[in-house]
Amino acid sequence: MEYITYEHNAEAADIISRYYDTPPLAYVHSYGCQQNVNDGERIKGVLVDIGYGLCDKPEDADLILFNTCAVREHAEQRVFGNVGALKGLKEKKPGLIIGLCGCMANQKHVVEKLRQSYPYVDLVFGVDGIDTLPGLIARKLEKHKRILLEPAQRPVIVENLPIRRESEFRAWLPIMYGCDNFCTYCIVPYVRGREKSRRPGDILAEFRGLIAAGYKEITLLGQNVNSYGKGLEESIDFADLLNLLCSVPGDYQIRFMTSHPKDASHKLIDTIAAQPHLCKHLHLPVQCGSDRLLARMNRHYTVEHYLELIEYARARVPGITFSSDIIVGFPGETEEDFQGTLDLVRKVGYMQLFTFIYSKREGTPAATYPDATTRQEKTDRMSRLLAVQDEIAMGLVRAQVGQTVRVLVEGYGRLEGTLSGRLDNNLTLEFPADASLMGQYVMVHLTDARATVLLGEWMP
């Protein structure tokens, strides 16, 4: 593993500026998880660094880049649909560069499909190649040839990539990349490669910069933040990293995702209890509530271990809430397995649940597992799960009414003249107030709830 520093590519910037009469415009669209959204912000930063302006509509662009997601088939189909829709635009504007990057671009069969069936796609590069984008664009402009790179893992971490963040007070901060867990349904380890941790000094420097720039909420990102630190020279784990970051003075809150239950430690939970900067919430994806399926998923924990963690967290961190990811219809899931999931969901009482119907990913072990459950049975199980969860969530949301909370104002509410914020547990609240409060911490008294949205009154 090598750590390298991004350097401005003056030669590429020069080629680009000579090619266009006026500064060219780029349209970048990211699909999928927060990690990808953050990659998209860095892609925009790099493009601005070499002379591009950014635009919001593909029709205005000289360069269109789709930063893609491969986690479920539906996400891939959407991308192919959106790329297909650009054919007409390219015919009208032959100089337009159309590129695809991110997780889909790290799959051989996708690159092959683009090569064969999407001749108007000019540029394809994988998740680790953001720093190489200037050189690729320059080569494309000079040689007028398609550049479709074959998927490859690059054992490097590039520090100091320029960035154009979407918000002025909420920021994503990756602490590690890739995943070593190989859950049998998941494509991530194949497309994002082996786990690699950023050095604590680099993370701390970026964190300090964000706090100094006025950022109030930092979300630390990694596929499995609890295994942070593996392979680093220093001996440091995720809880140590949290303590290091929390030593930076300022008024801010830290969130993090995602925690893997097999690595979430009591030390981590004790740290959440001890550090006021950490939101009292844990996103702890369980995937399902059957030990038999958990083993087939290669998750390395049991329902009992999971519930023990939840119990420990509840005892140590008063008021802590939980959210989770659940896969319905994993190959071989029986009604009994599914009942185990419903049971677990009832026992934990999640504030939020992100639910997915199993999607077969070519190249993963589970793609070869026999699957006799019909689509209809799977969607039926999904509706039953959602009905159970809705009832739980409504009860938990209602129970918040009457409290006075301190929240960061993040956006506009659905009604005119209202603003929105999120509680520690990610619940959204809305209250009438003036837009000048945007990005600030305010006290709000929670007066009512509509479905899962809380309503409140600002307490100046």
- Binding residues for ligand SF4, per CB under 6 A? 179, 181-183, 186, 188-189, 223-224, 260
Residue 125 site contact among ligand 5AD, ligand SF4, none (CB < 5 to 8 Å, cut-off depends on kind): none
Asked if residues 367 and 186 have their Cβ atoms less than 8 Å apart, the reply is: no
Residue 361 site contact among ligand SF4, ligand 5AD, none (CB < 5 to 8 Å, cut-off depends on kind): ligand 5AD
HSE-CB of 86 using CA atoms within 13 angstroms: 30
Shortest approach of ligand 5AD to residue 43 CB, angstroms?
A: 21
d(CA 431, CA 414): 10
Helices then strands, counting H and E runs in the chain, come out as 14, 21
Residue with Cβ nearer ligand 5AD (17 or 359): 359
- In the bound state, the residue with its beta carbon closest to ligand 5AD is 325
Residue with Cβ nearer ligand SF4 (189 or 439): 189
Asked if residues 62 and 25 have their Cβ atoms less than 8 Å apart, the reply is: yes
| DSSP per position, 394-442 | HHHHHTTTT-EEEEEEEEE-SSTTEEEEE-TT--EEEEE--GGGTTSEE
Question: How far, in whole angstroms, is CA 401 from its chain's centroid?
Answer: 30
Residue with Cβ nearer ligand SF4 (24 or 193): 193
Query: Rule CB under 6 A: is residue 140 a binding residue for ligand 5AD?
Result: no
Q: Where is 77: in which H helix or E strand?
A: helix 73-84
Residue 260 site contact among ligand 5AD, ligand SF4, none (CB < 5 to 8 Å, cut-off depends on kind): ligand SF4
Query: Rule CB under 6 A: is residue 325 a binding residue for ligand 5AD?
Result: yes
Token look-up 């499909």 returns 113
Residue 224 site contact among ligand SF4, ligand 5AD, none (CB < 5 to 8 Å, cut-off depends on kind): ligand SF4
Residue with Cβ nearer ligand 5AD (123 or 385): 385
Shortest approach of ligand SF4 to residue 356 CB, angstroms?
A: 10
- Range 356-385, binding ligand 5AD (CB under 6 A): 356, 358-359, 361
**Angle of the 133-143 helix axis to the 34-49 helix axis, nearest 10:** 60
Query: Rule CB under 6 A: is residue 287 a binding residue for ligand 5AD?
Result: yes
Token look-up 């859950």 returns 183
Coil, strand, or helix at residue 114?
helix
Query: Rule CB under 6 A: is residue 289 a binding residue for ligand 5AD?
Result: no
Query: Rule CB under 6 A: is residue 185 a binding residue for ligand 5AD?
Result: yes
Q: Which of 25, 28, 47, 72 binds ligand 5AD (CB under 6 A)?
A: 72
